Structure 1
Amino acid sequence: MVGGCAALCGALCGALLCVSGLWLPGARAGCADRESPACCTGRNNECAELNRRKTACYCDSYCEKTGDCCEDYRQVCQISAAIDCEVGEWGVWSPCSSVCGAGTTERSRQVTTPPRNGGSPCPDLKQRRGCLAHLDTCSTAKEVAKILPDSFKRNFKDPWRRPHMLIKEERKSYCVNMRVKQVSAACRMKVWSSQMARERSVCVECQSDAMAADNRCRGDGLQSIRTFWAAASAPGCLGSWIRESWSESCYCPAHSLLFI
């Protein structure tokens, strides 16, 4: 009987010690009892321990905002008050990404004070919105070049030296090197237009009879901007290209193209 009472008393005392937290292998009581690191910056859900009530508490700086710090957090971690992120004023909007038609523009701002000790994170630092470009080059970008093979090339030297033909002679040809980007299947129907293959560079000559009043051929393209072309003698043959270079007083080599 005595032995039974002793055993019962020992069990009850052990249970009481477990509940009171005075004896429990591996039990923690807060940040001071954590293995290194005792404290964590920012928000870290793994930076947790058990308080004296055996419920989870935290030793990361974000716990001050959520109100679930361990009881000894300030004493052990000595963390100052949370500092929210602060940002500067928005910068100016960037130029429209398109020279003609729909595009995008964006602006940004800088962080002046980074967040610390669980302070509020930074808001968006970039904004983007749509734009519609109306630059002077827009009308040029919409032009469609009409092209023919150089077998249509003409020599405007006039043996009679007629005045209106002399004016044409004074307007020298120029060359434009284009990189083909798109080409329709119909271009394969004729020998001369079959050279219009994707990523192929072609030389296109602007002769005086094809020049408009501003001394340029319509559809001669824009530097690094996609424009469009159509073969005049090959129905359905059309596509797009990008101007790579431009040369004054120039003649394209044999088997090239002409603006018309």
Structure 2
Amino acid sequence: MPHGRLILGGLVPVLLSLFLWAGCPSGVGASCGRAGYCCQGRNNTCYGYGTNLAGEGNSSSRCFCDEDCTRMSDCCIDYAEACLAVDCEVSDWYNWKPCNNPCGLGSQERRREVTRPAQNGGRACPVLREKRACIGTNDEECLQQSVEYQGKELREVARILPAKYGAYRSEKKYDPFQDHLRKNLYGRRFVDLRNEILARTSYFAKFEITDVKHGCNVTAFPWVQALRTGQTVCVECQPTIMKKELGTRCEGHGVWRQETRWRAVHVHGCHGKWVMQTKHDEGTCDINGNSDFILI
């Protein structure tokens, strides 16, 4: 058999009977057009006789009329005309499903369906499902959300730096080693991302500080002075720090109206607690603000 086609002798009668039952006759000394049939998928019993598309064979050589013949290069010479390719067709997109997190950053998806499958080597179906990040805004559901659902976020610690050290602003491509501090803080993560155009935008929330440890009062870092009990600060999550395994979000980004912990990076003993006062919203904090920070 040409091109590695194999039909086991003992199985031929069974295959032929199944093939005929499915409405696709077996080869009987004719090309696809003369026999008047085409077969879906791979079907070694779907053949005629004659020259194939590669110009090989003669009147007694088998050539095939199944979809797989295009890949095997053993189609009958009239396959393209007799078995016209039919491209896949799909429906319009359905509406986006609700955000899977009613209380902050989450994801949502939409789908579409195949209305006509591809046949005879036609164009394959396009993507049938899309997914995107979203921010839930359902206050009622958010208030009813259980602590168990938010448990991971409640246990996380936010590691913060002043917003002026943010690496991702309006530029889609950026230098990961703009200064020595960023190089040490972000290291290899930026090397992996420096040629990538990031589509996910930053998001932020406002936090009221409820507890500050003694280490914040004895440090020489001036930016720590904004971290005082009762102070409201803006905290931003940037795309370069988002983790896919956490649902495309920053670690320690907080839980609305719940107390979580924070830590000032590279400031020994400076940590505390805060309460998230506003829900996550797309946007950035003030890069020049004294009470504006980024998560790392």
TM-score (norm 1): 0.45
Task: Indicate the structure (1 or 2) with the bigger Cα radius of gyration.
Answer: 1
Give the structure with the larger strand fraction. Answer: 1
TM-score (norm 2): 0.39
